[in-house]
Amino acid sequence: MKRKYFLRSLMDALQGIVSAITREKNMKLHVAGAAVALAASFYFKVERFEFLFVCTAIALVFMTEMLNTAVEAAVDLKTEKFHPLARLAKNVAAGAVLCAAVFALVVGVIVFAGRLRNLY
Protein backbone atom coordinates (compact mmCIF):
# COMPACT_ATOMS: atom_id res chain seq x y z
CA MET A 1 0.00 0.00 0.00
CA LYS A 2 2.78 2.44 0.88
CA ARG A 3 4.48 1.68 -2.42
CA LYS A 4 1.42 2.88 -4.36
CA TYR A 5 1.42 6.15 -2.43
CA PHE A 6 5.13 6.63 -3.07
CA LEU A 7 4.77 5.91 -6.79
CA ARG A 8 1.78 8.24 -7.02
CA SER A 9 3.71 11.00 -5.23
CA LEU A 10 6.65 10.45 -7.54
CA MET A 11 4.42 10.67 -10.61
CA ASP A 12 2.80 13.86 -9.28
CA ALA A 13 6.23 15.42 -8.69
CA LEU A 14 7.39 14.49 -12.20
CA GLN A 15 4.18 15.96 -13.61
CA GLY A 16 4.94 19.17 -11.72
CA ILE A 17 8.38 19.37 -13.32
CA VAL A 18 6.94 18.70 -16.78
CA SER A 19 4.23 21.32 -16.22
CA ALA A 20 6.79 23.92 -15.17
CA ILE A 21 8.88 23.25 -18.26
CA THR A 22 5.98 23.26 -20.70
CA ARG A 23 4.05 26.20 -19.22
CA GLU A 24 6.74 28.61 -18.09
CA LYS A 25 8.78 30.51 -20.68
CA ASN A 26 11.57 31.24 -18.20
CA MET A 27 11.83 27.57 -17.26
CA LYS A 28 12.41 26.72 -20.93
CA LEU A 29 15.24 29.26 -20.97
CA HIS A 30 16.70 27.72 -17.81
CA VAL A 31 16.57 24.24 -19.37
CA ALA A 32 18.36 25.55 -22.47
CA GLY A 33 20.98 27.25 -20.31
CA ALA A 34 21.45 24.07 -18.29
CA ALA A 35 21.93 22.05 -21.48
CA VAL A 36 24.60 24.51 -22.67
CA ALA A 37 26.35 24.45 -19.28
CA LEU A 38 26.33 20.65 -19.14
CA ALA A 39 27.55 20.36 -22.73
CA ALA A 40 30.34 22.85 -22.01
CA SER A 41 31.26 20.91 -18.88
CA PHE A 42 31.75 17.75 -20.91
CA TYR A 43 33.44 19.53 -23.81
CA PHE A 44 35.98 21.24 -21.56
CA LYS A 45 36.29 18.20 -19.28
CA VAL A 46 35.85 20.29 -16.16
CA GLU A 47 37.12 18.91 -12.88
CA ARG A 48 34.75 16.96 -10.64
CA PHE A 49 34.42 19.74 -8.04
CA GLU A 50 33.72 22.32 -10.78
CA PHE A 51 31.08 20.05 -12.28
CA LEU A 52 29.49 19.79 -8.85
CA PHE A 53 29.20 23.59 -8.73
CA VAL A 54 27.68 23.65 -12.22
CA CYS A 55 25.12 21.00 -11.23
CA THR A 56 24.36 22.78 -7.96
CA ALA A 57 23.75 26.05 -9.80
CA ILE A 58 21.45 24.32 -12.29
CA ALA A 59 19.49 22.59 -9.54
CA LEU A 60 19.16 25.81 -7.55
CA VAL A 61 17.80 27.72 -10.55
CA PHE A 62 15.33 24.93 -11.37
CA MET A 63 14.12 24.67 -7.77
CA THR A 64 13.65 28.40 -7.30
CA GLU A 65 11.87 28.77 -10.65
CA MET A 66 9.47 25.97 -9.76
CA LEU A 67 8.82 27.45 -6.32
CA ASN A 68 8.26 30.83 -7.95
CA THR A 69 5.72 29.23 -10.29
CA ALA A 70 3.97 27.60 -7.34
CA VAL A 71 3.84 30.86 -5.36
CA GLU A 72 2.45 32.76 -8.35
CA ALA A 73 -0.21 30.10 -8.99
CA ALA A 74 -1.29 30.01 -5.34
CA VAL A 75 -1.42 33.80 -5.10
CA ASP A 76 -3.38 34.09 -8.35
CA LEU A 77 -5.80 31.41 -7.17
CA LYS A 78 -6.50 33.18 -3.89
CA THR A 79 -6.28 36.83 -4.97
CA GLU A 80 -9.13 38.30 -7.00
CA LYS A 81 -7.95 41.90 -6.88
CA PHE A 82 -4.70 43.72 -6.22
CA HIS A 83 -3.31 43.24 -2.76
CA PRO A 84 0.10 44.51 -1.59
CA LEU A 85 0.90 41.21 0.15
CA ALA A 86 0.17 39.29 -3.06
CA ARG A 87 2.59 41.56 -4.88
CA LEU A 88 5.17 41.09 -2.13
CA ALA A 89 4.90 37.29 -2.32
CA LYS A 90 5.35 37.31 -6.09
CA ASN A 91 8.23 39.79 -5.97
CA VAL A 92 10.08 37.89 -3.26
CA ALA A 93 9.68 34.60 -5.13
CA ALA A 94 10.93 36.25 -8.33
CA GLY A 95 13.83 37.73 -6.37
CA ALA A 96 14.81 34.24 -5.22
CA VAL A 97 15.00 33.15 -8.85
CA LEU A 98 17.11 36.18 -9.68
CA CYS A 99 19.54 35.36 -6.85
CA ALA A 100 19.83 31.77 -8.07
CA ALA A 101 20.37 32.90 -11.66
CA VAL A 102 23.09 35.35 -10.61
CA PHE A 103 24.76 32.56 -8.62
CA ALA A 104 24.62 30.33 -11.71
CA LEU A 105 26.11 33.11 -13.82
CA VAL A 106 28.96 33.60 -11.35
CA VAL A 107 29.64 29.84 -11.32
CA GLY A 108 29.62 29.83 -15.12
CA VAL A 109 32.07 32.71 -15.32
CA ILE A 110 34.42 31.13 -12.78
CA VAL A 111 34.32 27.69 -14.40
CA PHE A 112 34.23 28.58 -18.10
CA ALA A 113 35.70 32.07 -18.64
CA GLY A 114 39.34 30.95 -18.72
CA ARG A 115 38.55 27.97 -20.89
CA LEU A 116 36.61 30.09 -23.39
CA ARG A 117 39.42 32.66 -23.46
CA ASN A 118 41.90 29.89 -24.31
CA LEU A 119 39.87 28.92 -27.38
CA TYR A 120 40.87 32.11 -29.18
Q: Under 8 Å CB-to-CB from 16, ≥6 apart: which residues?
A: 66
47 given a catalytic annotation: no
Q: Of 38, 48, 44, which is closest to residue 113 (Cα–Cα)?
A: 44
- Helix axes of 48-78 and 25-43: crossing angle, nearest 10 degrees: 180
Active site residue: 47, 50, 65, 80, which one? 65
Angle between helices 25-43 and 84-118 (to 10 degrees): 20
Q: Report the alpha-carbon angle 119-99-38, nearest 5.
A: 35
Q: How far is CA 58 from the centre of its chain?
A: 6
Residues marked as catalytic: 65
